[in-house]
Structure 1
Amino acid sequence: MPFPSQSTGERRPRAMVIDGAWRGLGAGLEALSGPGGAPLTRTVKLIVLPLIVRPALHPELSADFLAPEPAERLDALIRESGARLVATAQWFTLLKRTRRALGVVTGNPQDLYFQRCFELASEHGPPGADAGTGELARAVVQDAADADGGRTVDALKRHLADPSQQAGLEKELVAEWASRRLAPASATATALTLAAQALEACGKVAGPGKSPEYAAMVEAGHGELLGRTLWTQAGGVWGRDDLPAHLGLTERQLPPRPQVGRGASTATLPAPLDRTLFERLFVVLQSSARREQLPTVPELVGREVGRSCAPLGLYDETLRVAAVLGGRLAVGLDPLGTGESAPGRTSAHRAVNSRWRREASVLRARRMTVSPSPDPDGGVLDALAEDLRTPWAAYMRRLWVRLHGRDVREAALPDAASAWAVLDGVARSVMMDHRARVRSALRTLSASGPSAVPDAAERRSA
């Protein structure tokens, strides 16, 4: 039987199928869900896909868009796991409570416990009220705390707190920064031409396994070359004089020499190339699900000294080339459709832009852009519309963080297909993040009264 309102042969986004099945499970999943009732991104990434859907065993469920029969199978798999998921949520709540009682503060609880909670739910069902359950919860929390081998933010803070360590690292940074080789802006023309050709191929066939342009850029070191250019060029690199050369990777005219630093906060992190060694590694340690696979803290710090002074803040050339491709894509992002005839657009630009423009929140922002009337909500949505006028900033910031994390883990992008998967994934992530912020703003406006909320047509799918 097809899903309601779905005609035979119609494909549905896999994410939409997961969302619908999840909501159909009912109450008890709040610990694994967002404010709107949808599964958290980490819930999908760490539990639903690898432990329930298992695309390796069910390749027909691995596509982004599913035909009716695979969609029904995916829906059934999630619904069949309903009781286990409720038990998983209960175990997660218990482990978080135990974590607080033990004073454990390092690591993201979702990354550390989600999959373990699913295993506990599969083995034991819901947590009981006996002492054995409490002992088991304490053992799981302590095991997770010990498994990272000291690769924690606290260990990083202790390592960098030593005055002699600080002085030595500052001296190394000064020497590394002084030894950089610079390059003129004119040296980037070939790199940007090849990047456009590679993006044209990626957009047409959704990421080819082989690309002569991508391979040529890596072989010739075009990523390194462009990175060396950006050390001296404040603008005029990407063919658009209205954009800074670094596309939001630094708030300065030119990137500054990295400092050591001794603290960081996710709420106040500066632009990527303005971050200290501590801030760069803070993000890596906070976001890594399996920190035991990372180098030790002293090794991380030692490598980051050279990496922070390398072109584009990256060591691996395939990752630098991906950053060049990302920059070439970013300067052509146009969710509002204000530059339809702009030169240099590729099939990759058209694919990403068309997907973005179908968002209801973007349609509303487009109307706000051309409307002379003031925003009735007091500027909340107008600020979100402004983000769509400068989409390259959020895109490049998120892309760099992804590439930096791969560089630390030595996870190269060997071909155009793997590079495009990252580039397109970042575009989707930025779009989904913007959608979530619009939804949050609309919920806030709804609480303020009906006069502040856009009409139903504008809210639909926002």
Structure 2
Amino acid sequence: MTAQTVPRARVLAEAWRELGDGVAPLSNAAGLPLARTTKLVLDPLVVRPVQRAHLGRALLDAPAARDLRELVLAAGDDLRAAAAWFVLMKQERRARGITTGNPQDLYFQRAYELAHRHGYPGQDAATVAGTEVDDVHDDDRVTAADLKEYLTTPTVADAVRRVIDEAWEQRVPAPAAEPGAGPGPGERVTALLEVCAVDGRAELAALVAAQDGAAAGARLHTPGAARALGMSEHATPRPPQVGAHASKSALPAPFDRSVLERLFGAIAALQVDGSASLHEVVTTEARRSAAPWQLSEEADRVVMTAGAAAGLLDGGTDAARRLEGRWRREAFVRQALRLPDGSGPADGVREAFLRRLWVRLQGRELRGAPLAADGVWDLLDGAMRSVVLDRRDRLKAGLARTGANRSAPNRSAPNPRGSTPQPHPAQGGVA
């Protein structure tokens, strides 16, 4: 970060706090916008970075920071009204005994639309909110439960299995090394990583044109390659299962996830409205599993290839130095020599970073959101920030457990063999 730039997250946080207590229903305990508030309301409905690309970057120059702050403050009345509508919609949800779906996912954008149409809730607000809740839950939108029921239908599971097998049989092998004396894929990736935090559009285009992402993804079928990056637990990636069970808290490595596990977390947000659309989503995902990097778009494969290089945190390129700087400046990294589970603070960071990056890219493909020409750095930086926050929380939880174990009196009964009971080790894991 230079003296002329400021983190986008800081600008949003400061502007949000200026909005006051009226947006509390859309805020977290620290008074900052919830992650879903940013994802579902601020970015798509207020800031609109697709139309204002200069406001979507992780680091903003002074004019962009000023524009972002003014946009958020100008939307203050709508945001406060949306917060009030959201509270009313939750009340109507409880009155109807509805328990399906996450209220924030389902109602945040609806609440903002109500704020635009009606302003702050008036005398008939309960009726309006109830009608809106009925509309949300009376439509034919496919839920995660619907997806599971669909995929566990024997005829459907057999059909999806055939699509997977056919796609994997048609996989294209990794290409041979390029002849000639021109820049090779390694040089092109390095060129992108040197400039992507500023622009990098020409470098991205060169990598896409050369199909370097597809080539790198195909090479992951070399024994041990995908496992070394944390993308699979197997020596070589295997065709995915159709799937019968899924849990957000226990997802395997990206390439080892079933079709159900790849879709169930995002299906509600995709607004799939029937079995025909669901068939298309499932079939597309089954075929995507056989593509290089298990991604359909070449630009996304290039980002994964660049992420694998930058995620080494070796300071070899500008992007790697910036990512390493984000990691190293965290207080817990500087202070914690070993985590309570015995691992080092940087253990598994590259693998966790690549998994987060893949999930973001796969999610964009599910939503049909193309990669912005200047969006490479924001994806890389966002994935690293996600890992940092997860590691910080994990360390705090581990230290709290360790402290509790040390301070608790030993009330266990004497061991008849005279041995000393061993404390249960603090559990850890890589995100």
- Superposition TM-score, scaled by structure 2 size: 0.76
Residue number in structure 1 paired with 2:87: 93
Residue number in structure 1 paired with 2:384: 427
Q: Does 1:224 align with 2:182?
A: no
Residue number in structure 1 paired with 2:160: 169
Amino acid at match of 2:216: L
Unaligned runs of 5+ in 2: 408-431
Q: Does 1:308 align with 2:289?
A: yes
The offset of 1:400, in angstroms, is 0.9
* 8 A Cα contact 2:144 2:265, kept in partner: no
Amino acid at match of 1:198: L
Q: Secondary structure at the match of 1:65?
A: strand
Mapped to 1, the partners of 2:148 and 2:309 lie a distance apart of: 37
Residue number in structure 2 paired with 1:65: 60
Mapped to 1, the partners of 2:44 and 2:391 lie a distance apart of: 26
The offset of 1:362, in angstroms, is 2.9
Mapped to 2, the partners of 1:294 and 1:191 lie a distance apart of: 42
Mapped to 2, the partners of 1:207 and 1:146 lie a distance apart of: 45
Amino acid at match of 2:379: V
- Within the candidate set 322, 328, 339, 1:357 is matched to 328
Map of 1:300-339 to 2, 5 A cutoff? 300-330=281-311, 332-333=312-313
* 8 A Cα contact 1:30 1:37, kept in partner: yes
Residue number in structure 2 paired with 1:254: 236
The offset of 1:199, in angstroms, is 1.2
Map of 1:362-381 to 2, 5 A cutoff? 362-365=333-336, 368=337, 379=340
Map of 1:175-324 to 2, 5 A cutoff? 175-183=166-174, 190-203=184-197, 206-211=198-203, 214-235=204-225, 245-288=227-270, 296-324=277-305
RMSD: 4.1
Cα distance change on mapping 1:319 and 1:134 into 2, 3 Å? same
Residue number in structure 2 paired with 1:5: none
Q: Does 1:408 align with 2:366?
A: yes
The offset of 1:25, in angstroms, is 4.6
Unaligned runs of 5+ in 1: 1-8, 236-243, 334-338, 370-374, 452-462
Cα distance change on mapping 1:316 and 1:295 into 2, 3 Å? farther
Mapped to 1, the partners of 2:104 and 2:176 lie a distance apart of: 44
Q: Secondary structure at the match of 1:296?
A: helix
The offset of 1:44, in angstroms, is 2.9
Amino acid at match of 1:139: T
Amino acid at match of 1:120: L
Amino acid at match of 1:425: G
Cα distance change on mapping 1:210 and 1:70 into 2, 3 Å? closer
The offset of 1:190, in angstroms, is 4.2
- Within the candidate set 311, 315, 318, 1:347 is matched to 318
- Superposition TM-score, scaled by structure 1 size: 0.72
The offset of 1:298, in angstroms, is 0.7
Amino acid at match of 1:228: A
Map of 1:105-144 to 2, 5 A cutoff? 107-127=101-121, 132-144=124-136
Residue number in structure 2 paired with 1:240: none
Map of 1:428-447 to 2, 5 A cutoff? 428-435=385-392
Q: Secondary structure at the match of 1:36?
A: coil
Aligned residues: 402
The offset of 1:185, in angstroms, is 9.3
Identity of aligned residues (%): 39
Cα distance change on mapping 1:437 and 1:35 into 2, 3 Å? farther
Residue number in structure 1 paired with 2:29: 35
Q: Secondary structure at the match of 1:267?
A: helix
Mapped to 2, the partners of 1:430 and 1:294 lie a distance apart of: 36
Cα distance change on mapping 1:74 and 1:227 into 2, 3 Å? closer
Mapped to 2, the partners of 1:171 and 1:17 lie a distance apart of: 50
